[in-house]
Amino acid sequence: MSYKHSEETKRKISESLKGKKLSIETRIKKSLALKGKTYIDLHGEEKAKERKIKLSESLKGKNNPMYGKKMTEISIKKISIFNKGKKVSEKTRKKISEKLKGIVPYNKFTLQQITKKYPFFSKIEEMRYNPLKPGKKEIQVHCKNHNCPNSKEQGGWFTPSSIQLYERIRAVEKPYGMIENNFYCCEDCKNKCPIYNLRADPFKKLDINYTLIEHQQFREHVLNRDKNKCQYCGEKAEHVHHERPQKLEPFYALDPDFAWSCCKKCHYEKGHKDECSTGKLAKVICK
């Protein structure tokens, strides 16, 4: 026999539980109780239909940027992973096949198509058709770490996957792409490459008016003066914070009167915030 709570009782229960965290045991029990159950099992067919109608009405007339756009190769892969092992109805299959019509994977493009569509990428990357498969027009690219022994056997050339091509094109052609996303024929080549996962330019000239020894002495002096205690929270200090940002006012970089000790957490949460945040200071170009 199932007992239904009144709306007032439900509201009282939700208010009493507001802000409270459930224990791990309760969470496990809840998840096991709900495992394999659908919305229809929990709320009935009528409620499920009502929910479906409400959702369709809420989306009506809204300018969703994804509507009417072709799916990318990555989106297709994500959907396939999400739907793995799930049974799809004939109606849904038909809809998916209609949506995917005309979408060509990146590794199925010809060299002429890539050169026309992505001119900048074509100038940067070396490309050719696989000489061992002349009739197939299989695109090959050059491994970034072609000095690696694994890559040397083929002279650095390998056939990339559609995802590899898409990611590299996005890195070069799009403003939000990551430029260090290069072509690698294997994991060994990637891990041994000196520029893989590099966050900064090692050859960039930094105009620093002090030596490393001078900076260490300054740091030790500030930490000893503050008895290795964070000046914000009183915990053990690991960092030295500059009141006047080094990038904007390098003259005060080694002045202990404009520096104090702080822990790592407080350094970024309280020291580098608002106008003095690390992200904003990085964008400043000093002349």
Q: Say whether pLDDT at 4 is over 80.
A: no
Residue of 47 and 20 predicted with greater confidence:
47
pLDDT tens sequence across 25-44: 777 777 777 777 777 877 78
In the 8-state DSSP scheme, what is residue 175?
T
Tokens of 274: 């608002």
Q: Is the pTM of this model over 0.75?
A: no
pLDDT tens sequence across 216-254: 889 899 999 999 999 888 899 988 988 887 777 778 888
The confidence score (pLDDT) of residue 1 equals: 46
Q: Say whether pLDDT at 274 is over 70.
A: no
Q: Which segments within 154-238 are labelled E, that is strand?
A: 157-158
Quote the mean pLDDT of the chain: 76
Residue of 160 and 200 predicted with greater confidence:
160
Report the percent of the chain where pLDDT is more than 70.
Answer: 71
Nearest to 265 by CA among 246, 249, 241: 241
**Mean pLDDT, residues 130-155:** 75
Residue 218: CB atoms within 10 A of its CB come to 17
Q: Say whether pLDDT at 202 is over 80.
A: no
Question: Which residue has 């799009």 as its token pair?
Answer: 174
Rg for the chain, CA atoms, rounded: 29
Write down how long the chain is. 287
**What is the SS3 assignment for 137?**
coil
Lowest-confidence pick of 38-42, 68-72, 106-110, 228-232: 68-72
Alpha helices in 118-202 (DSSP H): 119-124, 149-152, 162-173, 187-192
